[in-house]
Structure 1
Amino acid sequence: MGYKTVRKAVLPVAGWGTRFLPATKAMPKEMFPIIDKPVIQFIVEELLEAGIENVIFITGKHKRPIEHHFDINTDLERHLEEAGKEKVLKNIREVSHMINPIYVRQKQQLGLGHAVLTAEPVVGEEPFIVSLGDIILEKGSENLKKMLELYNRFGRSVIALFEVPEEEVSKYGIARVKESSEGALIIEDLVEKPSPREAPSNLAIVGRYIFTPRIFAKLRETTPGKGGEIQLTDAMKLLLEEEEILAFKIDGKVYDTGNPLDYLKTVFEFALKREDIGEELREFIANTLNKQNQLIDKP
């Protein structure tokens, strides 16, 4: 059976980034660099690898740097050209032309579900991807491609999951799954941030989704919670009452950049893998730790 092709992705990036204040007063957390590339570019490159070029950014008035990043900067290009920095110039031009960006203003930040609902006039009656702007998936794992293959086979919404330690389940939405007769994983229930005792599994929602357009109706039916926010997990639970939702277990590592400590861990891990700076950084860390240990050991 043929299903509508997934052609669009929604990136909700309108949040205030309060865990990074005051840095996020003027700069979106999605633009924080992982060495020399902003977090949001990793998300966009993942979409491109899956064949998705129509990217709908759900933004706020404080998120203009994201728009600038994917736009053409003629002054910068001219400067780089005059300076003979051809390699950097090529990279900048590639960023400016990599996607077809569409910007939709979320006038009030009323939850992730509300952000997704804001995209409805642009998405229309089509299936679509939702990628959260602070989660990077390990490059080369082709998770989105595999999720799209699952959607193309069954025509159902697909939610990405990854295993977390039992003591960390209270940080995530957790899914209970079962295997179908066709070998696909089907979501039976979703629980938002349960205690380890109440968690139905250790499979956490990872911030990658493919939705059928039916999710929009369920978002409109969802009762707002604390602060008037519409939660995406609540809408997915309503969708479960009418449609199967499939689960996909992520391959490779998940990098969370949504809080200061995990952001720093991500930066260090990416830096240590770099051929141009990894070795020197490793030496710097070792020397710094040695000096600290010597200070501690002093009587």
Structure 2
Amino acid sequence: MKQKITKAIFPVAGLGTRFLPATKSVPKEIMTLVDRPLIQYAIDEAREAGIKEFIFVTSRGKSALEDYFDHAHQLEHDLASKGKTELLDILKATNMDSGQIAYLRQHKALGLGHAVWCARRMIHDEPFAVILPDDVIAAEKPCLKQMVEAYEETGGSMVATMEVPPEKAHAYGVLDVADDRGAVVKAKGMVEKPAPGTEPSNLAVIGRYILHPNVLTSLNSKEAGAGGEIQLTDAIAKEIGTDRGVYGYRFNGQRFDCGSKAGFLQATVSFGLSRPELRDELRDYLQEVLTLDKAAQ
């Protein structure tokens, strides 16, 4: 029986420069998708997958992120006194119990691999998950939960994957596939941001990982990879030659890149249309906009 995955690392130290000026004072992870911040989607997904300990790797200027998960006693009291129980339940769902959540600082922006390495003392020798909040995944069964179930069969390390157009593969880490089993593929190689035309496949790695603790040992070397940064992909690739192995998982669901403005807008529309109380009004508006746009052409 495989060891349970109960810890997850959330690398949230990035400056979010693509969303300036909003991110001058608001951490990108607090930006709202309909009525919940990006980080709440990540936390909810982790909880559904059985995560009990939440480790945030932050940087200077992220205090609003920490405050978000704290108890707002005055607001809770006001809602309770006014009998607004539905809003109170929504608010309480954002709270984290003492000891459940930890914050660590990444003092220099040295890459995703370095951010994960910063949490090494809290992981010890356990397998763990990594969730990138920029990647929001709409799925009937949360993506990480799908992966945890698959991991119970494979062990080793596992990355979420999706097929991308070959001309876009250079923007991702890409798997070289040894054995394709459908939802699960076994990797014989991983390349971070391959030069156009050199990609081994169009199976891209996106922001969900289940990792063996030896990945942290590999990160100890702090070797710079693509872009001069310490790449998590490089450390995972070192697991491929072991008896543990590295697997890709083709998840069921739709991924939105909320690290980009276009992806954020697409996610907003999609999640808005999925809400019964918003669907009709939003759909009517979108149809009106498209009709006017077509007429203008």
TM-score, normalised to structure 2's length?
A: 0.91
In the aligned structure 2, how far is the partner of 1:81 from the partner of 1:5? 37
After superposition, the Cα gap between the structure-2 partners of 1:3 and 1:269, relative to the gap in structure 1 and judged at 3 Å, is closer
In the aligned structure 2, how far is the partner of 1:171 from the partner of 1:119? 26
1:96: Cα distance to partner?
0.8
SS at 1:61 equivalent: coil
1:71: Cα distance to partner?
1.1
SS at 1:276 equivalent: helix
SS at 1:108 equivalent: coil
1:52: Cα distance to partner?
0.9
Report the residue type matching 2:224 in the other structure: P
1:272: Cα distance to partner?
1.6
Report the residue type matching 1:198 in the other structure: T
Aligned residues with identical type, % of pairs: 37
Deviations along 1:38-64, one digit per CA (max 9) or x if unpaired, are 111111111111111211111112112
In the aligned structure 2, how far is the partner of 1:247 from the partner of 1:137? 16
1:250: Cα distance to partner?
1.3
CA contact (8 A) 1:222 1:234 kept: no
Query: Which residue of structure 1 lines up, in the alignment, with residue 198 of structure 2?
Result: 198
Query: Which residue of structure 1 lines up, in the alignment, with residue 216 of structure 2?
Result: 216
1:292: Cα distance to partner?
4.0
Kindly report which structure 2 residues correspond to 1:35-114, keeping only aligned pairs within 5 A, or say none: 35-97=34-96, 100-114=100-114
Query: Which residue of structure 1 lines up, in the alignment, with residue 277 of structure 2?
Result: 276
CA contact (8 A) 1:27 1:65 kept: yes
Report the residue type matching 2:239 in the other structure: L
Query: Which residue of structure 2 lines up, in the alignment, with residue 286 of structure 1?
Result: 287
Q: After alignment, is 34-43 or 146-155 more displaced? A: 146-155
In the aligned structure 2, how far is the partner of 1:238 from the partner of 1:274? 43
Report the residue type matching 1:35 in the other structure: V
Query: Which residue of structure 2 lines up, in the alignment, with residue 252 of structure 1?
Result: 253
1:244: Cα distance to partner?
1.4
In the aligned structure 2, how far is the partner of 1:272 from the partner of 1:239? 41
Query: Which residue of structure 2 lines up, in the alignment, with residue 152 of structure 1?
Result: 152
After superposition, the Cα gap between the structure-2 partners of 1:171 and 1:3, relative to the gap in structure 1 and judged at 3 Å, is same
SS at 2:277 equivalent: coil
SS at 2:204 equivalent: strand
1:240: Cα distance to partner?
2.5
Count of matched residue positions in the alignment of Structure 1 and Structure 2: 294
In the aligned structure 2, how far is the partner of 1:270 from the partner of 1:178? 36
SS at 2:238 equivalent: helix
Residue 239 in 1 paired to residue 239 in 2?
yes
CA contact (8 A) 1:46 1:144 kept: yes
In the aligned structure 2, how far is the partner of 1:174 from the partner of 1:26? 34
In the aligned structure 1, how far is the partner of 2:180 from the partner of 2:171? 28
CA contact (8 A) 1:10 1:56 kept: yes
CA RMSD between the two structures: 2.1
SS at 1:48 equivalent: helix
In the aligned structure 2, how far is the partner of 1:291 from the partner of 1:132? 37
In the aligned structure 2, how far is the partner of 1:151 from the partner of 1:286? 43
Report the residue type matching 1:197 in the other structure: G
In the aligned structure 2, how far is the partner of 1:263 from the partner of 1:174? 23
Q: After alignment, is 113-122 or 155-164 more displaced? A: 155-164
TM-score, normalised to structure 1's length?
A: 0.91
1:167: Cα distance to partner?
2.3
After superposition, the Cα gap between the structure-2 partners of 1:151 and 1:289, relative to the gap in structure 1 and judged at 3 Å, is closer
CA contact (8 A) 1:222 1:235 kept: no
Runs of 4+ in 1 over 4 A off after TM superposition: 225-228
1:271: Cα distance to partner?
0.8
CA contact (8 A) 1:112 1:230 kept: yes
Residue 19 in 1 paired to residue 18 in 2?
yes
Query: Which residue of structure 1 lines up, in the alignment, with residue 130 of structure 2?
Result: 130
In the aligned structure 1, how far is the partner of 2:35 from the partner of 2:212? 35
In the aligned structure 2, how far is the partner of 1:185 from the partner of 1:196? 23
In the aligned structure 1, how far is the partner of 2:23 from the partner of 2:201? 34
Report the residue type matching 2:93 in the other structure: E
1:106: Cα distance to partner?
1.3
Report the residue type matching 1:115 in the other structure: A
Show structure 2 runs of 5+ residues with no match: none
In the aligned structure 2, how far is the partner of 1:151 from the partner of 1:227? 30
After superposition, the Cα gap between the structure-2 partners of 1:184 and 1:92, relative to the gap in structure 1 and judged at 3 Å, is closer
Report the residue type matching 1:276 in the other structure: E
1:154: Cα distance to partner?
3.4
1:194: Cα distance to partner?
2.2
In the aligned structure 2, how far is the partner of 1:146 from the partner of 1:268? 25
